Amino acid sequence: MNFENFGTIISRYFSMIRTFMFLMLGILYMSAHAQDTLKTMELPEFIAEAKRNADYEKRYQKLVRDVPYAKVAGFRFQLLEQNLQLLPTEKAKKEYLKRTEEAIKEQFMDDLMGLTLSQGKLLIKLIHRETGKDTYTLLKQYRGGLTAMYWQGLAKVFNADLHNEYNPVEDWQIEQIIAGLAME
């Protein structure tokens, strides 16, 4: 394999990842401006005791750092879906999606450029948590099946999966962090 080609492939991959993240953040951005109320549900609280050591603290602080878009994403997605239902034609819907993607790119470009692979994987889970749909399904719905397959293949190259779903039992730490953010 030619290393010059490999560098080009990696560069294109990260460019595509940024575009995908901008689309998802656009959905979140549009949802944030909804004037409708969201149904909330009280979850039973539980306390998990964990061994306090340096590695645990480091992993936990990394999660705290990496959970910035969870609530905003779900809210924006709901707004996007509501607005799309109000639009009369397919052309108007496509134009709305295009403008939303551009707004997301403009607002969140710097944040997305700095995402690590683990942050991207976490964002995939958080998108599922907030929207109820995995990232692959959202891409397929809004960008088409071929685009979704392309991104899934690219994600697999980097040991990621757009079908990943949020599991509140396995991801209990993330849930606690999000609950803590809601209290602030």
Q: Which domain holds residue 29?
A: 12-34+51-183
Q: Is 45 a domain residue?
A: no
Q: What is the CA radius of gyration of the chain?
A: 18
Q: What angle do CA 119, 53, 182 make, to 5 degrees?
A: 50
φ, ψ dihedrals at 63, nearest 5°? -65, -45
- Structurally, the chain folds into a number of domains equal to 1
CB atoms within 10 A of CB 140: 19
Q: Is 20 a domain residue?
A: yes
* 57's tokens: 């603290």
Q: Is 1 a domain residue?
A: no
Best-predicted range by mean pLDDT among 23-37, 57-71, 103-117, 169-183? 169-183
CA dist 1 and 57 (Å) reads 41
pLDDT in tens, 70-120: 566 667 777 878 888 888 998 998 898 888 878 877 776 777 677 778 888
Q: Is 3 a domain residue?
A: no
Torsion of CA 85, 142, 136, 12, to 10 degrees: -150
Q: Is 112 a domain residue?
A: yes
User: Which DSSP letter does residue 17 get?
Assistant: H
Q: Is 134 a domain residue?
A: yes
Q: Is 2 a domain residue?
A: no
Closest CA relative to residue 80, chosen from 65, 92, 96? 96
pTM for the model stands at: 0.60
Residue 114: C-alpha distances to residues 34, 45, 117, 148, 157 (Å):
28, 33, 10, 23, 19
What confidence category does residue 1 fall into, taking pLDDT thresholds of 50, 70 and 90? Answer: very low
